[in-house]
């Protein structure tokens, strides 16, 4: 199983902004954060290294209130060390699929949403029964010369 690597594109945090809000601020760096989908209320702290970014970095009212865009174009969670559980557990990609020659041919989002531009992989994917386990999925793809690797 390979390790999931976040590229800091910010997309998930932009959409999660609808579900995360600052309920109460104790100071400029200490806040109570409400996760509306789970009801969780937790204290969070803006990391000292990100305080300037939090107060003056680029943001958008529709994003998570703790997300900031840096000059280089990368996105930063300013409370990363204390972020809610929903954020700790989130993986935008659950599987990578490699094609012949080891090229990355596609990935899976959520449980079974294939993202690919490869028509051969799309065709092989349609052979996988919806309720099959990962071993069956891997075996079907292997017969078509694709290697599926789960991400943890």
Neighbours of 84 (CB within 10 A): 23
Mask for 39-78, x = binds ligand SF4 (CB under 6 A): -------------------------x-xx---------x-
Does 35 engage in binding with ligand SF4 (CB under 6 A)?
Answer: no
Does 105 engage in binding with ligand SF4 (CB under 6 A)?
Answer: no
Q: Please give the distance of CA 21 from its chain centroid, rounded to a whole number.
A: 18
CB of residue 57 vs ligand SF4: minimum separation in angstroms? 12
Binding to ligand SF4, residues 8-27 (CB under 6 A)? 8-13, 16, 20
Pick 81 or 134: Cβ nearer ligand SF4: 81
Pick 20 or 124: Cβ nearer ligand SF4: 20
Tell me which of 6, 26, 28, 74 binds ligand SF4, using CB under 6 A: 6
Q: Given the rule CB under 6 A, which residues bind ligand SF4?
A: 6-13, 16, 20, 64, 66-67, 77, 79, 83-84, 87, 92
């Amino acid at each position: 199983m390979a390790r999931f690597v976040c590229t800091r594109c910010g997309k998930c945090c932009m959409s999660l902004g609808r579900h995360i809000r600052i309920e109460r601020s104790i100071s400029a760096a200490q806040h109570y954060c409400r996760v509306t989908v789970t009801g969780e209320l937790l204290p969070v702290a803006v990391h000292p290294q990100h305080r300037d970014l939090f107060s003056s970095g680029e943001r958008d009212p529709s994003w998570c209130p703790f997300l900031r865009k840096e000059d280089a174009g990368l996105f930063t969670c300013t409370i990363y060390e204390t972020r809610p559980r929903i954020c700790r557990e989130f993986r935008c990609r659950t599987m990578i699929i490699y094609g012949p020659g080891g090229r990355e041919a596609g990935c899976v989002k959520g449980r079974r949403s294939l993202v690919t531009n490869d028509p051969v992989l799309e065709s092989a994917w349609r052979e996988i029964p919806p309720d099959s386990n990962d071993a069956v999925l891997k075996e079907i793809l292997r017969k078509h010369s694709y290697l599926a690797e789960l991400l943890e």
